[in-house]
Structure 1
Amino acid sequence: MLARTACHARRPAAAAFDSRSAQTFKAFYATIRSLRQAPPKPEVDDVDPADNDFIMSILRANPSLRDTRSYLASFGPRPVKPVEFKPTIPVPEQNSITAESRPLHIKQPHTQTETSPVIASILNPVFRRTSLVKLQGPFTDRQLESIARGMVYLEKLGLVSVIVVENDNIPRGDDRERAAIVEETMRVVSALEKQGAKARPVLGAVVRLGPKPGDEDAAEAQSHPVPEAHTFPSDLVHIRSALRAGEIPVLPPMALDSFCRSVRINANDVIAALARGMVEAASQEPKTQRSSGSSEIPAPVEDEIDLTPMRLMIINKEGGVPSYARSGMPHLLVNLASEYHYIKDTFDPEWKSTHPSALANLSLARTCLSYMPPTSSAVMVSHRSPSSLIANLITNKPAVSSSLPHALLQGNRKLEFHTPTLLRRGLDVRVIRSPADIDRPKLKSLLEQSFRRKLDEAPFWDRLDKCLDFVIVAGDYAGAAVVTTEQCPPDASPDFSPITYLDKFAVLPSHQGDGTVDFLWVALHDESYGLGLPFSANPNGGKEGKGDGRDLVWRSRANNPVNKWYFERSTGHLRMGDWILFWCDAEKRLKTEEGRRGSAGLSYLEQWEHGRLSVWSDVVFKITSSWK
């Protein structure tokens, strides 16, 4: 070991490392130490306060600058077309009246003044959007009060809820079934009004049983899950009226059957029919009435509302979907395009008693999001977390990032059984292992748009042909992670295996903030440093968790704004001049070493870690740039 270290010291990069190791030793192992030590138990003062304050709920959301911009783009004032100034006083001809005889005051006829769009947007700066809410009870009065407070908070921020009430304790087919569900609906209306909201019960059926006429022959029936109920734009008149009046519509799960009788059906069918029907109704509105169709504001802002639902919220007692990767703790972020079937297949039968409606709600989210805009999301949340709804609205992100190291997720006090599950339509994720299978024009376009630099194509493709390990692609090259295999120097110890190097990690600007980054990093974890662990068996077209984990290494410029994100996900880092070297330890190796040492835990520096930073830095910083 001493001989190898001395040999490394003769190389320039290794010498630079040795010269500053005494000063930076603790710094670049800080992340390792935090991962390997058990987190302290939260003190009483560390526990989040009760969700009883609107401002505190917003502050706890901790939105980034990008989150704030995204929120303002959806809920901020609409752009106003400049109004040309036209004089209202007629100017007489120069030779028809003399200056001496010109009247000093000209009376104008009285006309009713319309509110200026600019003034209206200042007085009411929030552009209102809609969300669909499934309220899956039974709830106590106290629980309903907490939920109603969350709905009021969302309304203040511009998101008006269309609520469908369900009570699992009301038996189906009972003589008092209709009266009981109507009574439950009125309880929700009363709870909302006690919190200061205006609510309107819509007790008549607004959906119709059965698929929509023409669905059997429509091509979209092959690509979209077809709801068991449907609605027409004319059926939504009461919901539209309530929304325009600033009221929250509250509906029981009723539908019209083929004999025009109002019958109780599954609330999921009502929600799915409304999601599709509201999107279709909004598409038929004049462009000037839609949020994205015009730069003009034809009516006062408070009369406008976009009928297209941008959120689906499922509020119940059980919370999110339990995860096989976290011993029953909830999924944080679900990519429905690639994970839906796998989550259903790995659902533990024991969870059916604790989460009886989890799979049905997962299917509901998939159906609704297939009709809603791509930027929409669904959240499954317990009644205990009303402030999570605000955080989801402002950031459109999960409460805890799913791409954080598993050790942090296991020990983070914010990850609890009632932590919400965020669901997105998502993108397919696949792994490419042959350079010949890469769509080079699309990957080039992705890299140049993401890095905003010109790719030096010839040496870049030549390098991939020689040392490509794999490429993870999200969607149609909306994101990609390029990983290569770098050989260690000839004089390095035979104990060092080839370096798994993250050469490029890129996401299109249009997909930044929609979950693609997390989807991509989770797949990268599963194909490299997470291999060999049961929670790495995700269906991304790769090794599905089988194999031995490998250390993942990459570099980033010291002034890269993404470094904060890298710090949270790496095991450790080393600063070297204008660059930072990051790495993620193979998790299986760490667990094996921990098992050998038992309760003693891992040491500050393991034997197999000595000298590896010198080798990594020597190899990684010799890789030439891919940019012109």
Structure 2
Amino acid sequence: MLSRTTQTARRALPSSTNARSAQTFKAFYATIRSLRQSAPPPDVEEGDPADNDFIMSILRANPSLRDTRSYLADFGPRPVKPGQPKGQAVSLPLAAQKATEPEVRPPDIQKQEAATEAAPSQVIASILNPVYRRTSLVKLQGPFTDRQLESIARGMIYLEKLGLVSVIVVDNDNLVRGDVGERAAIIEETMRVVSALEKQGAKARPVLGSVVRLGPKPGDEDRGDSAPVPEAHTSASDLIPIRSALKSGEIPVVPPLALDSFYRSVRVDANDVVAALVRGMAEVAAQEKNEPSSSTLERPVLPDEDIDLTPMRLMIINKEGGVPSYARSGMPHLLVNLASEFDYIRNTFDPRWKSTHPSALGNLNLARTCLSYMPPTSSAVMVSHKSPSSLIANLITNKPAVSSSLPHALLQGNRSLDHSTPTLLRRGLDMRVIRSPTDIDKAKLKVLLEQSFRRELDEQAFWDRLDQSLDFVIVAGDYAGAAVVTTEQCPAGASPAWAPITYLDKFAVLPSHQGDGTVDFLWVALHDESYGLGLPFSANPNGGKEGKGEGRDLVWRSRADNPVNKWYFERSTGHMRLGDWVLFWCDAEKRLKTEEGRRGSQGLSYLEHWEHGRLGVWSDVVMKIPSSWKPKKN
């Protein structure tokens, strides 16, 4: 028996759709109307896993097949090419990716995710056998109690077991700069951290000499790029103590000391030391890769004999957690696009947060500086000492605790998200909104679409269609990603509440930007310009309407066998199957919010009066939109 919702949907379909339904329409209609209810979504387990159980920490990270492949690409064994000496380290090739043909397809969600997931034991076995060691910079922003240091030290050891060796810079917010005895006090704090690591079974080495120098690096005045310049710098010779500790299997622990212009060792801001180390280690690693030493040329280097100094992660561990979000009522940001959100986050920082999160903006600036010198796929994480095991999830998945592009109602009601939830920061890309077809770089958009969809674009037909119906295009960076939205006219007599149709025609990201957060950043910008428009948390500075206006329902289609549909199911309000296709939509959030507020405790119904008949019109209009691709060649 069909549910009331299914029966209503069928009655709403026009005659043309009813005729087609006998052949293709399976009368399957689904929505996520639980988002409309005031009741919270299903509970998610709270808190960290048992810190004394390393395996459980990995399992709770819930790495997908794609996450595991990405992790192994950085830390796994390098395959030996034919004729290559055994043990020589070479790059690990990424798995071949099969082409799909969805009309809307975020490309960083790969076809392989539709394959059967590997057994947990196999996934754990591959993660527990890292061969290639990488480095991270850790700012330990105390003071911490002995119990807190014990928990943090355990987290550092877990990361080391996974192949990520930490270089720790110790800080103590209670030590006032310039006080008598501050140098002795910060060294004592450094030794406490070393002792905590050793009690947990790690080998740690205090590096008490100054490894950075105050002031810009010689030649910085001639730099042609716009990367932020740290207030301190370091050279290859300065890094010898750190490299020696790493090669010996020890965790270097560094106090925030630097040499001034008179070659005196003085206490400085820990952020300056971290930024100088990130830049210096990245530059030395790049130089070594381009100019291998004579010893490397004479003999192959085994992966476990040395360590890659290129920083893969920046971790800021403190008591206050992540950066408070204006969009989440002071709860931490989940994911930050520094390229487009940095200034806006600073400008919207509530003065009341300065007492609860006094170092948030300073750490935000530190992340921006460091990530400008780290690889594009690197990330920074701000995390409370209460969540040390979340560092494992960040290392394996390189994702936030919960995707920032999920529906806002799910994020607001998720009990697993609290003030201790980490903030993940990525270098990101600028976002801009284009509203005129003449302002589109057609050559770059063509390359983006064809590389993403692996199809040949029917250019003339596509551009002619955009000339007639373009609403806007959101472009990420230099056409690294784009969301193309059109306006589709409804038949005469359609209800003005949902006509005309705002249609997501294309959603694409270059393969080279897979895994760097571009898909989430692009979807959030799409939300802010369409179905999320008009709400306070949709005011991100993406170059569009900046949250001002009325939201509109967003509609799109995808092939029924598209593995990306799982991603769409999680972000859409509802979907309806139409033979070989699935119709998705996201309801205008402001309209629902206003109606819900007017009704109070009564809440919203599963089918509002203005929604009657819209599915039939949507399906009839959307399914008539012609394909943008040339026929495949046999």
TM-score, normalised with respect to structure 2: 0.88
For 1:571 and 1:8, the matched residues in 2 are separated by 18
- Check conservation: 1:311, 1:378, Cα contact below 8 A: yes
Partner of 1:476: 478
Partner of 1:112: none
Residue identity in the other structure for 1:53: D
Do structure 1's residue 312 and structure 2's residue 317 form an aligned pair? no
- Check conservation: 1:78, 1:295, Cα contact below 8 A: no
- Check conservation: 1:185, 1:201, Cα contact below 8 A: yes
Partner of 2:96: none
Residues 521-575 of structure 1: CA distance to partner in whole angstroms, max 9, x if unpaired? Answer: 0000000001110111111100000000000000000111110100000001111
Identify the match of residue 321 of structure 1 among 320, 323, 328: 323
- Check conservation: 1:344, 1:359, Cα contact below 8 A: yes
Partner of 1:66: 66
Residues 2-29 of structure 1: CA distance to partner in whole angstroms, max 9, x if unpaired? Answer: xx9999755322445699999535xx12
Post-superposition shift, 1:35? 4.6
Post-superposition shift, 1:286? 5.0
With over 3 angstroms needed to count, the CA separation of the structure-2 counterparts of 1:33 and 1:18, relative to structure 1, is farther
Give the alignment of 1:358-437 within 5 angstroms. 358-437=360-439
Identify the match of residue 534 of structure 2 among 495, 513, 532: 532
Partner of 1:33: 34
Partner of 1:144: 149
Identify the match of residue 182 of structure 1 among 187, 195, 219: 187
Partner of 2:139: 134
For 1:367 and 1:508, the matched residues in 2 are separated by 25
For 1:249 and 1:525, the matched residues in 2 are separated by 44
Post-superposition shift, 1:254? 0.3
Identify the match of residue 507 of structure 2 among 505, 508, 511: 505
Post-superposition shift, 1:408? 0.5
Partner of 1:105: none
Post-superposition shift, 1:226? 1.1
With over 3 angstroms needed to count, the CA separation of the structure-2 counterparts of 1:39 and 1:286, relative to structure 1, is closer
SS in 2 for 1:481: strand
Post-superposition shift, 1:33? 2.5
With over 3 angstroms needed to count, the CA separation of the structure-2 counterparts of 1:39 and 1:144, relative to structure 1, is same
Partner of 1:342: 344
With over 3 angstroms needed to count, the CA separation of the structure-2 counterparts of 1:430 and 1:534, relative to structure 1, is same
Do structure 1's residue 492 and structure 2's residue 505 form an aligned pair? no
Partner of 1:458: 460
- Check conservation: 2:35, 2:409, Cα contact below 8 A: no
SS in 1 for 2:140: strand
Partner of 2:581: 579
For 1:79 and 1:567, the matched residues in 2 are separated by 37
Give the alignment of 1:506-585 within 5 angstroms. 506-585=508-587
Residues 420-446 of structure 1: CA distance to partner in whole angstroms, max 9, x if unpaired? Answer: 111111111100000011111111111
The farther-off stretch of 591-600 and 13-22 is 13-22
Two-structure CA RMSD over aligned residues (Å) = 2.5
SS in 1 for 2:627: coil
Give the alignment of 1:259-270 within 5 angstroms. 259-270=262-273
Residue identity in the other structure for 1:369: L
With over 3 angstroms needed to count, the CA separation of the structure-2 counterparts of 1:177 and 1:32, relative to structure 1, is same
Post-superposition shift, 1:51? 2.7
Post-superposition shift, 1:63? 1.4
Structure 1: gaps (5+ residues): 86-114
For 1:315 and 1:296, the matched residues in 2 are separated by 42
For 2:462 and 2:61, the matched residues in 1 are separated by 41
With over 3 angstroms needed to count, the CA separation of the structure-2 counterparts of 1:443 and 1:553, relative to structure 1, is same
Partner of 1:238: 241
Do structure 1's residue 24 and structure 2's residue 24 form an aligned pair? no
Partner of 1:163: 168
With over 3 angstroms needed to count, the CA separation of the structure-2 counterparts of 1:46 and 1:159, relative to structure 1, is closer
Identify the match of residue 256 of structure 2 among 223, 239, 253: 253
Partner of 2:230: 227
Post-superposition shift, 1:491? 4.0
SS in 1 for 2:350: coil
Residues 117-164 of structure 1: CA distance to partner in whole angstroms, max 9, x if unpaired? Answer: 59xx99975200000000000111111111111111111111100000
- Check conservation: 1:9, 1:18, Cα contact below 8 A: no
For 2:152 and 2:138, the matched residues in 1 are separated by 11
SS in 1 for 2:400: coil
- Check conservation: 1:129, 1:159, Cα contact below 8 A: yes
- Check conservation: 2:12, 2:614, Cα contact below 8 A: no
With over 3 angstroms needed to count, the CA separation of the structure-2 counterparts of 1:67 and 1:7, relative to structure 1, is closer
SS in 2 for 1:455: coil
SS in 1 for 2:271: helix
SS in 2 for 1:234: coil
Post-superposition shift, 1:50? 2.8
- Check conservation: 1:480, 1:507, Cα contact below 8 A: yes
Post-superposition shift, 1:492? 2.6
With over 3 angstroms needed to count, the CA separation of the structure-2 counterparts of 1:237 and 1:551, relative to structure 1, is same
With over 3 angstroms needed to count, the CA separation of the structure-2 counterparts of 1:185 and 1:615, relative to structure 1, is same
Post-superposition shift, 1:496? 3.8
Give the alignment of 1:97-108 within 5 angstroms. none
Residue identity in the other structure for 1:404: L
Partner of 2:359: 357
- Check conservation: 1:14, 1:617, Cα contact below 8 A: no
With over 3 angstroms needed to count, the CA separation of the structure-2 counterparts of 1:313 and 1:576, relative to structure 1, is same
- Check conservation: 2:448, 2:509, Cα contact below 8 A: yes
Partner of 1:12: 16
For 1:494 and 1:14, the matched residues in 2 are separated by 23
For 2:325 and 2:391, the matched residues in 1 are separated by 21
For 1:362 and 1:402, the matched residues in 2 are separated by 18
With over 3 angstroms needed to count, the CA separation of the structure-2 counterparts of 1:40 and 1:588, relative to structure 1, is closer
Residue identity in the other structure for 2:69: R
For 2:130 and 2:454, the matched residues in 1 are separated by 34
With over 3 angstroms needed to count, the CA separation of the structure-2 counterparts of 1:535 and 1:473, relative to structure 1, is same
With over 3 angstroms needed to count, the CA separation of the structure-2 counterparts of 1:250 and 1:603, relative to structure 1, is same
Residue identity in the other structure for 2:40: P
With over 3 angstroms needed to count, the CA separation of the structure-2 counterparts of 1:194 and 1:403, relative to structure 1, is same
Residues 245-279 of structure 1: CA distance to partner in whole angstroms, max 9, x if unpaired? Answer: 11100000000111111110000000011111111
Partner of 1:51: 51
Residue identity in the other structure for 2:169: V
Residue identity in the other structure for 1:357: S
Residue identity in the other structure for 1:60: R
- Check conservation: 2:130, 2:162, Cα contact below 8 A: no
- Check conservation: 2:282, 2:311, Cα contact below 8 A: yes
Residue identity in the other structure for 1:133: V
With over 3 angstroms needed to count, the CA separation of the structure-2 counterparts of 1:224 and 1:515, relative to structure 1, is same
Partner of 1:76: 76
Post-superposition shift, 1:38? 1.7
- Check conservation: 1:377, 1:396, Cα contact below 8 A: yes
TM-score, normalised with respect to structure 1: 0.89
With over 3 angstroms needed to count, the CA separation of the structure-2 counterparts of 1:41 and 1:427, relative to structure 1, is closer
SS in 1 for 2:605: coil
With over 3 angstroms needed to count, the CA separation of the structure-2 counterparts of 1:558 and 1:289, relative to structure 1, is farther
Partner of 1:107: none
Post-superposition shift, 1:393? 0.8
For 2:184 and 2:401, the matched residues in 1 are separated by 38
For 2:565 and 2:250, the matched residues in 1 are separated by 45
User: Percent identity among equivalent residues?
Assistant: 78
Residue identity in the other structure for 1:327: S
Task: Count how many residue pairs are aligned between Structure 1 and Structure 2.
Answer: 585
For 1:164 and 1:84, the matched residues in 2 are separated by 39
For 1:213 and 1:401, the matched residues in 2 are separated by 41
The farther-off stretch of 204-213 and 49-58 is 49-58
- Which structure's relative contact order is higher, taking Cα pairs within 8 Å and 6+ residues apart? 2
SS in 1 for 2:402: coil
